[in-house]
């Protein structure tokens, strides 16, 4: 059965990145979760031991970068960034992103540096 998600109806929760709205957490038909996240200027470096994340940049401020371990990658709208497990990451700057997470997001698999 299909599902339609309206992120405006999903409550935001605090995360190391800022505020996330997480879809499909309760859907056994979908093997992951999809997060609509507002990245805050105070985003903290973090990593996951089992989760793979795919960041789609909806929009970002000029000069916004993504830290991936010891590298910094300049970001702009419509980019995709694959973040495998054990990669320390954060966005530095303000951004709106869509994050596809597999397997399903587990708050116990989020470690700040």
Mean pLDDT of the chain: 97
Q: Residue 27 pLDDT more than 90? A: yes
Q: Give the pLDDT band of residue 113 (cuts 50, 70, 90).
A: confident
Q: What is the rounded average pLDDT of the residues 55-68? A: 97
Distance from C-alpha of 7 to C-alpha of 91, rounded to nearest angstrom: 21
Q: In what order do the strands lie in the sheet with 52-60?
A: 13-15, 18-23, 33-39, 95-102, 52-60, 80-83
pLDDT of residue 1: 83
Q: What is the rounded average pLDDT of the residues 54-67? A: 97
Residue pLDDT, tens place only, 72-105:
999 999 999 999 999 999 999 999 999 999 999 9
Domains of the chain and CATH, by start = 7-112 (2.60.120.10)
């Amino acid at each position: 059965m299909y599902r339609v998600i309206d992120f405006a109806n999903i409550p935001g929760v605090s995360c190391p990145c800022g505020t996330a709205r997480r879809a499909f957490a309760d859907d056994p038909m979908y093997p992951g979760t999809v997060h609509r996240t507002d990245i805050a200027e105070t985003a903290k470096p973090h990593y996951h031991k089992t989760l793979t994340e795919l960041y789609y940049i909806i929009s970002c401020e000029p000069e916004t970068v993504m830290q991936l371990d010891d590298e910094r990658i300049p970001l702009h709208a419509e980019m995709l960034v694959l973040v495998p497990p054990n990669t320390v990451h954060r966005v530095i700057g303000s951004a709106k992103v869509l994050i596809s997470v597999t397997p399903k997001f587990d708050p116990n698999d989020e470690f700040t540096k």
